[in-house]
A = this chain, B = another copy of it.
Amino acid sequence: MQPIFERLKEKGLTLTPQRMAIVECLVGNTTHPTVDEIYSGIKERYPTMSKATVYSTLKVLKDLGEVQELSIRKRGEVCFDPIPGMHHHFMCSECGNVLDVTLACPEKCPILSVDTIDGHKINEIQAYLYGICSDCASKSA
């Protein structure tokens, strides 16, 4: 836990208790939490925590490249991924949960190897797979 705080401090982030709680909630979290999920999880131990602070901290962490905001909405809310680097995501159409996908395109895939498409410069790629997760599949069976 320490190294990430040091890195954030080096990046110029003021480390308040609120921000540390939010970062702690995010580190190693693979559930792709929404603002409300982060807020609710922290509020139990930290009753004065405000949603506005969660919003503002996530924006700062996003600008620092520490967190990525996904394009998909998790049950209507923006959700976040603390894992850096490109990877894809699976969303269950039934329960709405978002999961990291380990399968990757081959490096030679044209969509990954080009940095320009139809004359437009590409900076980032996000792929989303939709379907039914194994939990929901076994429940309905």
Q: Give chain A's interface residues, CB within 8 Å of chain B.
A: 71-73, 88, 90, 92-93, 99, 101-106, 109-111, 114, 117-134, 137
Contacts and interface: CB of A to CB of B under 8 A. Distances in A.
5 contacts: A90-B122, A103-B110, A119-B133, A120-B131, A122-B130
Number of copies: 2
Chain A interface helix/strand/loop/mixed: strand
Contacts of A129: 111, 117, 122, 124-125
Given A125-B127, A126-B130, 4 more contacts: A101-B117, A109-B109, A118-B134, A120-B133
A120 B132 contact: yes
Contact of A123 (B73, B93, B106, B109): B93
Given A71-B71, A105-B109, A127 B127 contact: yes
**What 5 A-B pairs come out closest when comparing CB atoms?**
A119-B134, A124-B130, A122-B131, A127-B127, A123-B131
Contacts of A104: 110-111
Given A103-B110, A111-B104, A137-B121, A128 B71 contact: yes
